[in-house]
């Protein structure tokens, strides 16, 4: 399925209407971020394996998370879970700068190299455990977490600006997970559940499975 058909049929028709998000999804070549043997499936409505028991997320979920985060051109955004680099590339079309953390060394190296080759120059990839956020680059206008946490890591809430948004799947890998939007207003965090989801688990500090 061609890229533009994917955006129309799987994303726009399913309720994502933010014009900037739809345009960003049309410009990022997902087939360049999947494994070579999966290129013909790159525009399907599903996640795909990227090695190391990890996945590149379903395109609809990438678009929906970006819409929920209400990204603005001047925003500084933190992504947890660089994976293939695809989601970071989409976010980078919508904001000023993306800081992305990946815990698997080979994935971090591969994604950084791919993003450099494709000239996504406003993304900084770091190898590490995203549980503590990225204190040197904080605060962030938005934080997008692309692996499921059992609890929302407190450092991420601390690193949001006033008015900041955190989009994160929360729940156990063995039961239900919910995509949650948390917003900081006058120092108070408000949480709204948005969608039942199924993500690979966040590993590292603070999570029970490594």
At closest approach, how far in Å is the CB of 122 from ligand SAM?
16
At closest approach, how far in Å is the CB of 188 from ligand SAM?
26
* Contact indicator for 77, 91 with CB cutoff of 8 Å: yes
Answer yes or no whether residue 94 interacts with ligand SAM by CB under 6 A: no
Answer yes or no whether residue 57 interacts with ligand SAM by CB under 6 A: yes
User: Site for ligand SAM (CB under 6 A): how many residues?
Assistant: 25
- Which DSSP string do the residues of 75-99 spell out, in sequence order? -EEEEE--TTSHHHHHHHTTSSEEE
Answer yes or no whether residue 42 interacts with ligand SAM by CB under 6 A: no
Return the ∠ at Cα 164 (arms to 162 and 170), rounded to 5°.
130
Strand-pair partners of 100: 79, 125
Which residues, numbered 119-138, are part of the site for ligand SAM (CB under 6 A)? 129-131
Which residues, numbered 17-36, are part of the site for ligand SAM (CB under 6 A)? none
Site string for ligand SAM, 138-177 (x = CB under 6 A): --------xx------------------------------
Does 172 participate in catalysis according to the annotation? no
Q: Which residues of 159-198 are buried (b: 16+ CB within 10 A; e: fewer)?
A: bbeeebbbbbbbbebeeebebbbbbbeeeeeeeeeeeebe
Find the part of the chain contacting ligand SAM (CB under 6 A) among 9-17, 115-123, 174-182, 201-209: 201-209
At closest approach, how far in Å is the CB of 57 from ligand SAM?
5
Per-residue tokens: 153: 């890591």
Around Cβ 107, how many Cβ atoms within 10 Å? 21
Between CA 206 and CA 47 the distance in angstroms is 26
Residues at the site binding ligand SAM, with contacts judged by CB under 6 A: 54-57, 80-81, 83-84, 86-87, 101-104, 107, 129-131, 146-147, 199-200, 202-204
């Amino acid at each position: 399925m061609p890229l533009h058909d994917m955006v129309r049929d799987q994303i726009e028709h399913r309720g994502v209407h933010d014009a900037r998000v739809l345009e960003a999804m049309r410009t990022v070549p997902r087939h360049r971020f999947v494994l070579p043997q999966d290129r013909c499936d790159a525009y399907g409505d599903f996640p795909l394996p990227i090695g190391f028991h990890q996945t590149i997320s379903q395109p609809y979920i990438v678009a929906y998370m970006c819409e929920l985060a209400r990204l603005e051109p001047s925003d500084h955004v933190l992504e947890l879970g660089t994976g293939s680099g695809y989601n970071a590339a989409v976010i980078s079309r919508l904001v000023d700068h993306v800081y992305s953390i990946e815990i698997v060394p080979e994935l971090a190296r591969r994604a950084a190299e791919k993003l450099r080759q494709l000239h996504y120059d406003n993304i900084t990839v770091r190898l590490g455990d995203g549980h503590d956020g990225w204190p040197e680059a904080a605060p962030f206008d938005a934080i997008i977490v692309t692996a499921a946490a059992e609890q929302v890591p407190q450092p991420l809430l601390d690193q949001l600006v006033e008015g900041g948004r955190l989009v994160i799947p929360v729940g156990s890998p063995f039961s239900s997970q919910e995509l949650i939007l948390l917003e900081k207003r006058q120092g108070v965090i408000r949480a709204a559940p948005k969608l039942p989801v199924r993500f690979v688990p966040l590993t590292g500090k603070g999570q029970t499975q490594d």
